[in-house]
A and B are shown apart, each in its own frame.
Chain A
Amino acid sequence: MNLEFTPEEIEFRKEVRAFIEENYPQHLRGVGAREDLSKEYMLAWHQILGKKGWSVPAWPEKYGGTGWTPTQKYIWSEENARMDTIMPLPFGVSMVGPVIYTFGSEEMKAKHLPGIRDGSVWWCQGYSEPGAGSDLASLKTTAVRDGDHYVINGQKTWTTLAQHADWGFFLCRTDPNAAKPQEGISFILADMNTPGIEVKPIKTIDGGHEVNETWLTDVRVPVENLVGKENEGWTYAKFLLAHERSGIAGVARSKRGVEKLRQIASTEVLDGKPLIKDDDFIRKIGQLEIDLTALEFTELRTLASEAAGKGPGPESSILKVKGTEIQQRLTELTLEAVGHYGHPYFRGFPEDGSNEFPIGPDYAHQAAPTYFNMRKTSIYGGSNEIQRNIITKMILGL
């Protein structure tokens, strides 16, 4: 057991850092990931990485993965966090991509994997429904076979960034008479331009437009868009969720967030001294950082056991729960740190070229919306309560 980086890993870090510094687009520097960026902004880095062959590091090499070790992936995420890069979105790269290369036909792989790799196709996820949240298996959207097509009817919700999506993957009920709700579900891909698909925005408490309702009315989709076997979709859906969870800890980003919080707390003043000198506040930062260290080493242990041949298992639920709790606490403390200037409400940003007179320090502008927005993290991807149910069943055996 040791924490040392090998000379090759040190060399790798240099290579990665140099690549990011040379190639990360100038106009994206200092912008950071935000839900209201343009499609072009959000895809820019993905497309550069696609050309380099680094857009899907976790995939098997035969599908374009980099074959990096867990340590190399750790270095990769640290170096990206260092520059606040806008990383490839998860819907293609970490969600539908692994489902397609694991369960899809050769034709499907040939058709869809290249667009996910190079960032030319934007995917969205059609899982949740108004009546099917944590109880996902109760979903009601139907797909009925009609010749060479499925006809899909129903309503999906919380479809993240579907306003930009070219393709979507949908869980649909194909056998309404199955014995259990988990049976009779199929995993179907759909071109978002297909007639009958309508995307309507949902405005969230942070004021942003990140999620949508997706209405499906007599949407005709060719049968070759079925992934794997009909009625086996639940297996693929669970596989996807385990993959989604393993990247969800966000350790490198949170470490970067703590650095920024320290900078803010060094600038803000309390009783004539930097806020960071306040015993109460520094203790909160300390607790956050200590918990983040615990998460970091739990993730490293998980990655090491994955490298030893095990896929992402129920332990990834810990990473989801603790990772999201920390992301939330980070935004909570950031909002606390900015004090009065958490109040003003902006849409549009001075750095985007608007001429608005700046109110309060730059670092305060997004503090409250980000805090409000991050409440989603313990709800999405299987709520943290659902993660506890998974651990109860899969690990504790209760």
Chain B
Amino acid sequence: MDFNFSEEQTMIRDSLARLLRDQYEFETRRKVSESESGWRPEMWQQFAELGLLAAPFSEEDGGLGGGALDSMVIMEEFGKALVVEPYIPTIVCAGGFLKHAGSPAQKEEHLTAIIGGERVFAFAYAEPRGRYDLADLETTAKKDGDGYVINGHKAVVIGAPWASHLIVTARTSGDRRDKDGISVFIVEKDAKGITTRDYPTVDGRRASEVYFENVSVPADALIGEEGKALPLIERVVDEATVAVCAEAMGAMGVAHQMTVEYSKQRKQFGVAIGKFQVLQHRMVDMFMEHEQSISMTYMATLKLDEDEETRKKAVSAAKVRIGQGGRFVGQEAVQIHGGMGMTDELAVGHYFKRLTMIDSEFGNVDHHMRRYTALTAEPVKMAAE
């Protein structure tokens, strides 16, 4: 067992932290988020130059030979600075599908461009009526000659306004919620028949509703095997879930730290409010939640490549704790900041908003608790005494 970071991971963290400190301070982030495009393609280029976009891919695939731990390091730093650029959709999700199931030709076509920072993806999996069930799909892809025709409506596709390509989950056979009959496609966003409604999200990002109307895609748009994609989707979503946990742990740490600092400055009744024990203990509870989030994120990241059941239990356990811890830390941070915590001007409220939205990304506390207990509710025999 080893909890140390490699030299490469430490280097990535240090150089990324420096870049974000210099070019991603809160006011800049606010301006970018409120600008027309809502992100900075040139920042994405800098991420590429730093090697962030190559970090989790094998050398064979043109990457730096790292993996989920590298993404964890990167996402923690992104969480600290509330980075809006679409690392999870492009690198963890699209990159994950290509890494695990892409054909040599698909990798050649897409991975090189992803790693180079030239191609940005969004992951169109959620649907208006599917909630967190990855198999509850109304979007269909019907065989048509060699290719497929896609029809449907994908909901709240994060980063879609910035993307040139989409990863789309769709049903190629079977009924809604069947585990079989699900397939994954790479679709160019400007393909004929796709329309989008773009909008900002409450936590400063961009997303789209994406409508598919008789969108024709060629046979080689399919990633992996037709109709058998659910285990692959679950695996990639688990990897994305852990990445968003890492982002949350970064954001929780900052929200906590800001609160402690504020409590040292802010005076009421003639003393710094940090002298009040009733507030001290709550800030200690925030500290403990943050520490446990770090522990759970490490744990789940380290178990991503174990067998499916172990992986699912680990990821769901982490997402439950981080959903609960993130909510607690966010709410307490605002409360202890008092009225100032309610203002748009202060950064703390923006950390609260991001932490709030992370809970419902890739499944909230209830969803993951249900998935966890479903894997552990089998009756066991009484041990022989």
Which residues of A line the B interface, CB within 8 A? Answer: 1-5, 30, 70-71, 74, 259-260, 262-263, 266-267, 274, 276-277, 279, 282-283, 285-287, 289-291, 293-298, 300-301, 304-305, 315, 318, 321-322, 362-363, 385, 388-389, 391-392, 395-398
Contacts and interface: CB of A to CB of B under 8 A. Distances in A.
Contact of A266 (B275, B299, B381): B381
A189 B380 CA distance: 49
Contact of A300 (B1, B287, B381, B383): B1
Nearest to A286: B373
Interface in B342-385: 369, 372-373, 376-383, 385
A291 B321 contact: yes
B298 A398 contact: no
Contacts of B1: 2-5, 70-71, 74, 300, 304
Interface in B289-341: 291-292, 294-296, 298-299, 302-303, 317, 320-321
Interface string B258-302: 001001100000000011010011011101100110111011001
Contacts of A392: 277, 280-281, 283-284
Contact of A322 (B5, B263, B288, B303): B288
A293 B320 CA distance: 12
A136 to B, nearest CB: 18
A379 B320 CA distance: 28
Contacts of B381: 263, 266
Contacts of A74: 1
B59 to A, nearest CB: 19
Given A286-B372, A322-B292, A396 B283 contact: yes
A224 B199 CA distance: 78
Interface residues of B, number: 44
Contacts of B372: 286, 290
A391 B295 contact: no
Contacts of A321: 288
A305 B294 CA distance: 14
Contact of A398 (B69, B280, B295, B302): B280
A287 B277 CA distance: 28
Contacts of B284: 388, 391-392, 396
Contacts of B376: 262, 282, 285-286, 289
A283 B321 contact: no
A294 B3 contact: no
Given A2-B302, A290-B317, A396-B280, 17 more contacts: A1-B6, A1-B69, A262-B376, A279-B373, A282-B373, A282-B377, A286-B369, A286-B372, A287-B320, A291-B292, A294-B321, A297-B295, A298-B295, A300-B1, A318-B291, A322-B292, A362-B385
Contacts of B277: 389, 392
B377 A301 contact: no
A360 B39 CA distance: 66
B299 A293 contact: yes
B42 interface: no
A385 B385 contact: no
B31 to A, nearest CB: 32
A376 B256 CA distance: 30
B109 interface: no
Contacts of B285: 388
Contact of A301 (B3, B283, B287, B385): B3
18 contacts: A70-B1, A71-B1, A262-B380, A263-B381, A274-B379, A277-B377, A286-B376, A287-B369, A289-B317, A290-B320, A304-B1, A304-B3, A321-B288, A363-B382, A391-B284, A391-B288, A392-B277, A396-B284
Given A1-B4, A398-B275, A276 B377 contact: yes
A388 B229 CA distance: 48
B2 interface: yes
B4 to A, nearest CB: 6
B385 A30 contact: yes
Interface string B173-190: 000000000000000000
Contact of B2 (A1, A274, A283, A362): A1
Residue with the highest number of chain A CB atoms closer than 10 Å, among B285, B320, B380: B380
A316 B138 CA distance: 51
A274 B69 CA distance: 40
Contacts of A315: 291
Contacts of A301: 3, 294-295, 298
Contact of B321 (A262, A279, A290, A397): A290
Contacts of B295: 294-298, 300-301
Contacts of B3: 1, 300-301, 304-305
A50 to B, nearest CB: 28
Q: Considering the complex of A and B, which 7 residue pairs feature the smallest CB-CB distances, nearest first? A: A297-B295, A266-B379, A294-B292, A392-B280, A286-B373, A304-B3, A388-B284
Residue among A274, A279, A298 with max Cβ neighbours from chain B (10 Å): A298
B296 A263 contact: no
